[in-house]
Structure 1
Amino acid sequence: MKRTLVISDIHGELGMLTALLEKVSYNSKKDRLFLLGDYIDRGTDSKATLDKVMELVEGGAVALKGNHEDMMIQSLIDGNERTWRNWTGRNGGEATLQSYGFEPESFLFSDEEEFQKPHLHSDQLNRHLEFIQNLPYYIEEEDTIFIHAGVKPGVPLEETDPYELIWIRDEFHNNYKGPKTVIFGHTPTRGFRDDENDHSIYFGANSIIGIDGGAVFGGQLNCLVLPEKKAYYVQAKK
C-alpha cells in the first residue's frame, strides 16, 4: 500500500518544505502527497514555494486551494479593494509580492489614499495565478476528506459555499460529527491546546486531524503519514 503524506500551511517557508520532504523520504512513484493550501504569504519565499508546489503537482501530488491563495486571486485578478488592503496590510501579501520583485510603494496604500488596482506585471506571477485559480477546494475519498479549513457541519460538501471550506474554524472544530476523518490545516494546532509551544498534529476526538504547525510563526511544518498516522516535522528556526 502506498503511503499518503499530508502537509499544509507552508506560507513561503520553502526551506522547511524541502527539508520535510527529505526527512520523510518522499518518493513520487511510491507515495501520494496532498498539500492543503496556504503556500504563500508571510514567509520570504512565496514565489519559489509556488514553483515547488507546481513541480510536485506535475510529479503526481495533489494541491488544494487555501484562503491565502484565494485572497491573492481576489486581489490581483478581481481587484477587490477590501481584500487587497486586507491581504497586503494584515495577511502577509506584501511579502508575497516582494518575492516577485515588486517594491512596496508599487502596491501598498494608506487608509487615506484612493484605491486603484496596481498593475503588477510578471510572467511568472501570471503563471502562478493561473495555477492557483484552478486548484480544487477539497478531495473526498472513501474514509477521508482532505481540505484547507474544514467542512460546514450538516451541509454536503458539494453544496457548501467555498468561502467556508477555506475559512471556517470553530463551528467545524466543535460540531463536526461526520463519518469521515477530516484532515485540515488553516488553524495552528497550538490553539487546540493549553500549551502554546505545542505545535504537533492535533487528533480530535470527533475524527478531525489538524496539521497546521504554525511554521511561519516560529512553530513547525508537519507531515502526517497515513495510514499509520505517523507524524514528522521540521522545526522553524527561531
Structure 2
Amino acid sequence: MRRTLVISDIHGELQMLNDLLNKANYNAESDRLFLLGDYIDRGPDSKATLDRVMGLVDGGAIALRGNHEDMMVKSLVDGNERSWRNWTGRNGGDCTLKSYGFRPESFLFSDEEEFIKPSLHSEKLDQHLTFVQQLPYYIEEEETIFIHAGVKPGTPLEETDPYDLIWIRDDFHNNYDWTKTVIFGHTPTSGLHNDENNHSIFHGANSIIGIDGGAVFGGQLNCLILPEKQELYVKSSS
C-alpha cells in the first residue's frame, strides 16, 4: 500500500519542510503527499516556500488552501482596507511581502494614514497568486477528509461556507461526530493537548487528527504518515 504523507502550516519555514521531507524519505513516484495550507506568513521565506509547494504539486502532491492564502488573495486582489490591515498588520503578511522584495513603506499604514490600496506586482508574486487562487478547500476520500481548519458539524461539506473550512475551531473540535476521519491543521496542537510544550500530533476521540505543530512559533513541523498513523517531525531552531 502506498504511503500518504500529510503536512500543514509551514508558514515560510522552507528549511523545516525540506528537512521533514528528507527525514520521511519522500518519493513522489511511490508516495502521496497532502499539504493542508498556510504555506506563507510569519516565517522567513514565504516566496521560496510557495515555489517549493508549486514544485511538489507539479510532481503529484495535493495542496489545499489555508486561511493565510485566503487573506493574501483578499488583500492583493480585493484589497479593501480591513483585509489589508488585518493581513499585513496582524497575521504576518508583512513577512510575506518582504520575501518578495517589497519594502515596508510600500505596504504598511499607520492608523492615522488614509488607506490607498498598494499596487504591488512582480512576475513571481503574480504567478503565486494565480496558483493559490486555484487551490481546493478540501479533499474527501472514502474514509478520510483532508482540510485546513475543519468541517462544520451538521452541514454537508459541499454546502459549507468556505470561510468555515479554513477558519473553524472549537465547534469542529468539540462537536464533530461524522464517521470519516478528519485530518486538519490551523489550530496548533499545543492548544488541543492543553499543554504549551506538547506540539505532537493530536488524535481526538471523535476521529479528528490535528497536525499543526506550531512550527513558526517555536514548535515543530509534523508529518502524519498513513495508513500506520506514524508521526515524524522536525523541531524549530528558534
Common fold: TM-score over 0.5: yes
> Does 2:15 match 1:15?
yes
Please state whether the residue corresponding to 2:237 is helix, strand or coil. Answer: coil
Alignment correspondent of 1:172:
172
Alignment correspondent of 1:147:
147
Alignment correspondent of 1:77:
77
Gaps (5+ residues) in structure 2?
A: none
| Stretch deviating more after TM superposition (107-116 or 167-176) | 107-116
- Cα distance in 2 for partners of 1:79, 1:51 equals 23
Alignment correspondent of 2:212:
212
Q: Which amino acid aligns with 1:44?
A: P
Q: How much does 1:142 deviate?
A: 0.1
Alignment correspondent of 1:128:
128
Q: How much does 1:80 deviate?
A: 1.9
- Cα distance in 1 for partners of 2:195, 2:32 equals 32
Superposed CA deviations along residues 79-124 of structure 1, whole A, max 9, x for unmatched, are 1211110000000000000000000000001111111110111000
- Cα distance in 2 for partners of 1:160, 1:64 equals 16
Please state whether the residue corresponding to 2:182 is helix, strand or coil. Answer: strand
- Cα distance in 2 for partners of 1:223, 1:89 equals 30
Please state whether the residue corresponding to 1:33 is helix, strand or coil. Answer: strand
Gaps (5+ residues) in structure 1?
A: none
Please state whether the residue corresponding to 1:225 is helix, strand or coil. Answer: strand
The TM-score with structure 2 as length reference comes to 0.99
Alignment correspondent of 2:104:
104
Alignment correspondent of 1:26:
26
Q: How much does 1:207 deviate?
A: 0.1
Alignment correspondent of 2:160:
160
Following TM superposition, the consecutive aligned residue runs of length 4 or more in structure 1 with deviations greater than 4 angstroms are: none
- Cα distance in 1 for partners of 2:107, 2:101 equals 12
Percent identical residues = 77
The TM-score with structure 1 as length reference comes to 0.99
Q: How much does 1:194 deviate?
A: 3.1
| Stretch deviating more after TM superposition (110-119 or 161-170) | 110-119
Q: Which amino acid aligns with 2:27?
A: N
Please state whether the residue corresponding to 1:41 is helix, strand or coil. Answer: coil
| Stretch deviating more after TM superposition (109-118 or 214-223) | 109-118
Quote the RMSD (CA, aligned, Å). Answer: 0.5
Q: Which amino acid aligns with 2:121?
A: H
Q: Which amino acid aligns with 1:129?
A: L
Q: How much does 1:35 deviate?
A: 0.1
Q: Which amino acid aligns with 1:106?
A: S
Alignment correspondent of 1:51:
51
